[in-house]
Structure formats: structure tokens, C-alpha cells
Structure 1
Amino acid sequence: MRPFWLQQALDQEVAPTCPPLAGDIDCQVCVVGGGYTGLWTALMLKEHNPALDVVLIEADICGAGASGRNGGCALSWSAKYFTLERLFGVDEAVRLVKASEQSIYAIGDFCQAHGINADYRLDGTLYTATNRAQVGATDGVIAALERQGINSFRRLPVEQVQRLAGSAKHLEGWFSPAAATVQPGKLVRGLRRVALQKGVRIYEGTAMTGLQEGPQAVVETASGSVRAGRVVLALNAWMARAFPQFERSVAIVSSDMIITEPQPELLQQIGLTSGISVLDSRIFVHYYHNTSDGRLMLGKGGNTFAYGGRMLPVFDQPSPYEPLLRRSLGEFFPALAQVPIAATWNGPSDRSVTGLPFFGRLNGQGNVFYGFGYSGSGVGPCHMGGQILSSLALGLDNPWTRSPLVNGPLGYFPPEPIRYLGSLMVRNAIRRKEQAEDNGHRPRHLDVRLARFAAAAGKADKG
């Protein structure tokens, strides 16, 4: 059984199968990876030049990775403004915030134009505080956005926050209309359908087993090869295993989700009647939204860490954190505490040091490009990733190819076992700190200091 979103999309899908590659073929651009990044890249390549011969290979089926199992929250980079400004300066930070908001609207426009029923709902997002220690956590970044003239948030009265969020647990909240929710599996499979219609040749069940670099790169698979003038690597969390030079550029950590059986009457009673996404101010945030078929999805990041960037079997199994998710569901929504659960799942997220994705040319080559490190926040930014990678592959000179985002990793984690042991130490300190704050207690000084490491690594950014 696939993760809930992807299985639901497959059950409703009428689309041609894409058989594995058999034999050796040639093309102009080969995209490796059939998630959001790879599909957006292929689509944008064809949009720029419909005659371009584009081949996409995917190890499993399109959407089998993070794109088919994420939380479905399409968020901008507004909350990451301080990180953007620190890394890239004011002008580029402002441009990227604006571009990230535009991508959210562009996804909806694309779905409408191409008949993709991805349950896209442009109903905004709420960033909230759920204990006294979190109150005011968003004030600083909102003030900075306001100074730059790019603030889309407004503080709401607490009664309105609780009504929109459907929960009395929220003590304050900032609302932005520049956010959407989607059914992730339907979106990625819809992108696949349109890519096929545009002439992209897609081979599923076709894993890359090797890459020969050169003026004509060769992507090797178990049953054939693809010779291409340009290659785009869109492997995301799998990139670090395929190319050892990236092993320390990301940490692989799970995000875990739970979804109820349909409860439209209960959701109506508690006030969750729109597609608004809600995120609290924890370091590893809670996030939730309802669905168009009357379910409630709740997730929480920062749970299972993988040693050495390995793809653990647990990432393809029901969440081992189901009791924690059920408890959180009941705390936010007492009326939903006993409702039947349709599914739990989790998956690997590629957390970069900065919390931002990065892009570049593999080994300095001018014809092999990569991008990954979305850090659990890729639904909206993968659209930007498609713009970046398609621009690089086409050799364009534009703000994307000139952006410092294309200069490769912006930092590295310590080597193993320090990274793994340190990640567990910091994670557990964060849990103790936030549990103390939830209970109205002052957390231990050591836990506060350890938690700052996560904030410094970009994990404090929402979304």
C-alpha cells in the first residue's frame, strides 16, 4: 500500500502506464527523478521549447517520494526572510520572498489551465503560538517584512485565530493569504499527466545506476542508458546516497503525518471549513489542515533521523509516532480525539544546514545540474526549483541563473557519527524544552542552549 495521498490519487487516476526503459536511447535533456522538482523542470523545459526532446526517468513511480506524501502545505519563504537576508543580502531576499509567493499562485493557475484536480485551495495560512513561550515568536520577521514592503501577514484577534484554526489551543496568530493547500498525490500525478501530453518521455521503474560525465553525459540504468547533452538530477533526499560528495550537505529526517476518516459534520462544528493551513511556533512544527473530502490531516517534523543519510525501511511504513500524533490531534481538537484514523505515514526529508534548497553544476560540469535540500518545505518552492533547473539546463541568463542559490551547498553537517548523535541530542533537548513550555515551566538552560543549534541550522523556519 502506498502512502495515503498517493494511493488516493492512484485510485482515482486514469492515465497511461510508463514502462521501464529497455535499451539505449538519446535525448537532449534527461531529468532524473519524477517528483515535483523533476516534473516542473521537464514541463518548463517544454514550455520554453516545445520541440525539445526531454526524457524523465523515475526509480519507482512518479510521486513515490516526498512529492506524493508531504503535508500539502504550499507556503512562501516569508518566514525564512532573516535566513535569506543573512545569506544573500536584502535585494535577493526580497526577490525570493516575492518569487516564492508567485509560485503559489502559479501552481493554482497551472492546475486550472490543465485540468489538474489537485484540491488546490488558496485559503491562506496561520502562524500561531500554542503556549506562552511561543507568543511573539513571529513578531520580528513580520516587522522585517514590513520594512521591506513585502509583508502579507496581519495579526488577528485571538478569537478569530481560534475560530479559523478550529482550536482553542492557539494563543495568537498571524494570517497570510499567500498560501494554499493541495492533495500532494493528485498534484504530482497531474503534473505527470501533463508532462506526457507535452511530449516528455517518462520511464518509471527505472533507477539511475551510474552517470558518465562528459560533453554527452550518459545516465546508466539496469536495463539501458540515456545519452543526453544535458542532465538534471532531481533526486532530493536520495541525492546524498547517489553522490557521496553531498553526504554531509543534508540530514535525512522524517516528517510524520496522520489523517482521519471523513468527519465533515465535526469539522463544520469546530469551524474548520476552509483549506487554511495552520502551523505553530515550535522548532519542529505541528501543521494541519482539513481536506476537501472532510478529513483532518496533522503532521509533525523532526522525528526519525537516519544515520549516514540512509533510506530507512521505516520511511515506507506507517508512522512509528502514531501515539504522539494521536495525542496532538486530541490536544488541538478534543472533538476529534476518538475519531477513526484512516492512515499514518512518514517519509524522508532532506534537511539542509540553512533550511533552504541549493542548486548547482555537478563537479563543476556545465551540463549536469542538481537541486535538493528543500528541508520539508517543498510544495511551493519546488516550482521555483523547476524554474532554476530549467533555466540552467537551457543556458539562460536570468535572475535564477544569477542567484546565489545556484552556488551549491551553503554549509555542511559534521561527519558521522557526530551528526547522528548530535541530531538525537538536539532533538531530545527540543522535546524537553517544548514540553516544559507547554506545562508553563521554565525549561532547563542546557536544553535551551542545545535547541539553538536547530535554530541555527534553519530548522526554526516554519513551513
Structure 2
Amino acid sequence: MRPFWLEQALRGEASDAPALQGAVNADVCIVGGGFTGLWTALQLKRANPHLDVVLIEADICGAGASGRNGGCLLTWETRFLTLRRLFGESEALRLVEASRQTVDKITAFCREHRIDAQIRVDGTLYTATSAAQIGSAEAVKAALDERGMGSFVSLDVEEVRRRAGSKRHLAGDFSPVAATVQPALLVRGLRRVALEMGVRLYEKTAFESLSYVPGPLVRTTYGEVRAKRVVLAINAWMAQTFPQFERSIALVSSDMIITERAPEVLERLGFTNGLSVLDSRTFVYYYRTTPDGRLMLGKGGNTFAYGGRVLPVFDQPSPYRAALARDLSGFFPELASVPIAASWNGPSDRSATGLPFFGRLDERHDVFYGFGYSGNGVGPSYMGGEILSSLVLGLDNAWTRSPLVRGPRGVFPPEPIRYVGSLVVRDAIRRKESAEDAGAKPWCFDVALSRLAQAAGKSDKA
């Protein structure tokens, strides 16, 4: 059984693309049929329609994170201080602006190519659901406002509650530069357009190995692709496929539930538009509605993987379904009697900085990669396509000169320290935030451990 979004998107679709059988040649071979791989393919074909692009996908396009995330199309405004610390003022401002433009670019692309991805550009609301969270965004807001780049405005508590449809919120900041999408409809729409533009697509084609003879040779289960350039866009699967990245990311689940249709309840709550709502805890709660009257709620930071391995549980209904249902009732008592239609989860590839990174595999000029979106990939994956297509084409532009293309910045500890440490920190965060939710003072040891996660950029933004 597929995750809810993907199952919904596949209704009435044509059959899968064929699996690769035998040997083929190509100008470019892209490994991975999610947002990053498809945006890269599409931007390559837009730049050079005659380029022969082959894309292989182990399952079907959108089967990974791209077809099962929360569908929150967010910018990098809240990451400005991290961007500035890592890359400097000028590049940080450029990346924030690029991330803002991405909202319009994805919307325009869908309009141009008739992709009904249920995009609603109704903004996002970052809130506080405990007193400890109040003011957590003030520093980044002030820094952006000083530079004329801020889009967030503070709302009084009654307005926050009205827009968010819930009285649980204590404060909030609204930005109009954000959207929600049905992510599987988006990725399947990108797949359709890629085929229309002449991308050769092979689904059910698992990547086996990469060698050089002397150029890149991608081997699959039943075939191979000899290409001039290769793009690796497999995200959470990179660590187990290429050992050199084992410590570059940590895999952690983001778990979601979605209700049955209840448009009349959402109407009474006054929460029917495409606003996304995220609180300010370390592993955030995030929720949004759908055009057909459902409410989806998710939370990150639950299941951690040992050794960067994608676990079977990531492809199953969420083991945290009951807890999420209780959380949903806490936000919306009015929805307590509405049945849960589905739950799911998936692996999120957390980088040490909370930002994606790109580069040349083993310093080669013909193999490129990008991953580490850390729970915020719907919008940034479009920028990933701009970066990777620019690298493939050998361009000298702001993307290929960006510090983002210098590979991972920082690593996680080796196993078993990483795994054990992740669980210890996760549980400390849970205790700390439970105390804060109850209005109590958390244990100082839990506060100190929680800072480790914040320093590592592990907060989940769906």
C-alpha cells in the first residue's frame, strides 16, 4: 500500500515506465525520480532540448520523500542566520531571495504545464505552542528586517488562533511567501512533463553500482547506462549506497496522519485555506488542510536509523499514529470524532547544518550529487535542480560558485555513538518540551542536551 498522497495521485494514471533492459548510452544519467532528479532533468531539457537525458528510478517516481512529505513549500528565511554564519552575508541574502522566488517559479511551472498539484499560495504561520517558544524567531526576523528582506509580520494572539484554527497557539508570525501542495501530484506532474520533453525514463530500475571505464557507467539490476555525466539524486539512500557519506547525514522519520473529509468542521473552525502552520519546538508540529476538506498533521524526530540504513518501518504506516491522533485532538478538539484516513512516515536525510549540500563525487568532473534537505525539500529541491543542471552543463554562475556545492559541512559521530546519542537527545527533547507544554521548568540536563540538536540543525520543517 502506498502513502496517502501517492495513492491518491496514482488513481487513474497510466502504467509505470518500463524497466531498463540491456545497455544504453546517454549524455546525462540521473539516478533518482524524486523532486531533485526530476527538476534537474527538466532544467537540463529547458536549457538544451537536444540533450539526451536518461532517468532511472528504483521504484516509481515519487515513491520516496517527494511523494510523502507534508507538502509545505517554504523558503529559507528562517535559516538566514545559519546561512550567514556558514556562507557570509552576501550569499546568505542571495539564497534567501532565491528560495523566495522558488515559490513563484514552481507555481508558474505548474500553471504553464497544466500540473494540478493543488498549490495554494496562502502563506505560512510560525507559532509558539508553549511560553518557552515565544520570541524564538525574533533574532532572525530582526536581521532580515534590517536588510529589507523580511516577509514575516507578528500577529496578536487572537489573530494567530483565528488563522490557525486552534486555541493552542500563544503567539505567531505570518509570511505570505509560502504555499502548500499535494506533493505526489506535483512529482507525478513533473514526471509527465519530463516524458513530454523527451527524458527517457526507466522505473523499477534499481541502481547497483557506478564505475568508470574511463567515463561513468551506471549499472542497474538488468542493464547499464554509459553517460557523459551522472547526477545522483537519491537523498536518504545516499549514505547506504556510498559509504563516504555515512556520517554526512542522519536518517530520522517524519510521521504524518490525515483525517477523513470533514469540510463542515474546518468551515466552522475558519481554517479552509492553504496556510501551513508550524510551531517552534525542536521537532516541530506542522499541519495544513487539503482542498477536499481534510486536515494533515505531522511531527518529526521519531524513528532514528542505525548506520544511515533506510529501515522497513519507513515504508509502513506510522508507528506513532495513536500519538499523532491525540496531538491532533489537542490542537483541534472539534476533530476528535473525525476518523483518521491514513498514517505514513518516511526517512528524512538530516545534514549536520540542516541545509542540503551538493558537490562532485570523488572530485570528478562528471559525477554530481545533492541531498541533505533536512525536512524542507519541496521548495529547495527546485534550487537543487538549478545547482545540479548548472554543474552538468559546466556553467559559471552563482549556483556553481556557491558554497553549497562544496560538499557536506560537518559530520555526525560514528556508530554506535550517533545512534545512541540520537536517542538520548531525542528523549531529552521530549522531556523538555513536555515540561514546557505543562508550564513547568525542564531539567537543566535535558535543556543542555536539546541544544545539541538545535546546533545540528535538526528541527523538522516538513
TM-score under structure 1 length normalisation = 0.99
Partner SS for 2:292: coil
In 2 relative to 1, CA 460–253 (structure 1 residues): closer, same or farther, beyond 3 Å? closer
Residue 362 of structure 2 is aligned to residue 363 of structure 1: yes
By how many angstroms is 1:213 displaced? 2.7
Partner SS for 2:217: strand
Q: CA RMSD in A?
A: 0.9
Unmatched segments (≥5 aa) in structure 2: none
> Which position in structure 1 is the counterpart of 2:7?
7
For 1:81, give the aligned amino acid.
Answer: F
Partner SS for 2:317: coil
Partner SS for 1:401: coil
For 2:295, give the aligned amino acid.
Answer: L
Q: Write out per-residue CA displacement over residues 388-438 of structure 1, whole angstroms, 9 at most, x where no aligned residue.
A: 000000000000000000000001000000000000000000000000000
| Runs ≥4 residues deviating over 6 A | none
Given that 1:18 and 1:202 are in contact with CA atoms closer than 8 Å, whether structure 2 keeps it comes out as yes
Given that 1:79 and 1:462 are in contact with CA atoms closer than 8 Å, whether structure 2 keeps it comes out as no
Partner SS for 2:177: coil
Q: Following the alignment from structure 2 to structure 1, what is the Cα–Cα distance between the partners of residues 379 and 142? A: 23
Unmatched segments (≥5 aa) in structure 1: none
By how many angstroms is 1:147 displaced? 1.4
Q: Following the alignment from structure 2 to structure 1, what is the Cα–Cα distance between the partners of residues 88 and 331? A: 38
Q: Following the alignment from structure 2 to structure 1, what is the Cα–Cα distance between the partners of residues 81 and 457? A: 10
Partner SS for 2:399: coil
Residue 169 of structure 2 is aligned to residue 135 of structure 1: no
By how many angstroms is 1:349 displaced? 0.5
Amino-acid identity (%): 68
Q: Following the alignment from structure 1 to structure 2, what is the Cα–Cα distance between the partners of residues 23 and 343? A: 39
For 2:350, give the aligned amino acid.
Answer: R
> Which position in structure 1 is the counterpart of 2:350?
351
For 1:176, give the aligned amino acid.
Answer: S
By how many angstroms is 1:22 displaced? 0.5
Q: Following the alignment from structure 1 to structure 2, what is the Cα–Cα distance between the partners of residues 23 and 29? A: 17
Q: Which segment is superposed worse, 140-149 or 231-240?
A: 140-149
Given that 1:281 and 1:462 are in contact with CA atoms closer than 8 Å, whether structure 2 keeps it comes out as no
Q: Which segment is superposed worse, 189-198 or 101-110?
A: 101-110
Q: Following the alignment from structure 1 to structure 2, what is the Cα–Cα distance between the partners of residues 150 and 12? A: 43
> Which position in structure 2 is the counterpart of 1:230?
229
Q: Write out per-residue CA displacement over residues 96-127 of structure 1, whole angstroms, 9 at most, x where no aligned residue.
A: 00000111111110000000000000000000
Given that 1:215 and 1:229 are in contact with CA atoms closer than 8 Å, whether structure 2 keeps it comes out as no
> Which position in structure 2 is the counterpart of 1:99?
98
- Matches for 1:447-462 after TM superposition, within 5 Å: 447-460=446-459, 462=461
Q: Following the alignment from structure 2 to structure 1, what is the Cα–Cα distance between the partners of residues 385 and 116? A: 21
TM-score under structure 2 length normalisation = 0.99
Residue 34 of structure 2 is aligned to residue 35 of structure 1: yes
> Which position in structure 1 is the counterpart of 2:431?
432
By how many angstroms is 1:4 displaced? 0.3
Q: Following the alignment from structure 2 to structure 1, what is the Cα–Cα distance between the partners of residues 111 and 461? A: 28
- Matches for 1:55-66 after TM superposition, within 5 Å: 55-66=54-65
Given that 2:41 and 2:389 are in contact with CA atoms closer than 8 Å, whether structure 1 keeps it comes out as yes
Residue 168 of structure 2 is aligned to residue 151 of structure 1: no
> Which position in structure 1 is the counterpart of 2:25?
26
Q: Following the alignment from structure 2 to structure 1, what is the Cα–Cα distance between the partners of residues 105 and 118? A: 15
- Matches for 1:49-88 after TM superposition, within 5 Å: 49-88=48-87
Q: Following the alignment from structure 2 to structure 1, what is the Cα–Cα distance between the partners of residues 214 and 173? A: 51
- Matches for 1:100-115 after TM superposition, within 5 Å: 100-115=99-114
> Which position in structure 2 is the counterpart of 1:258?
257
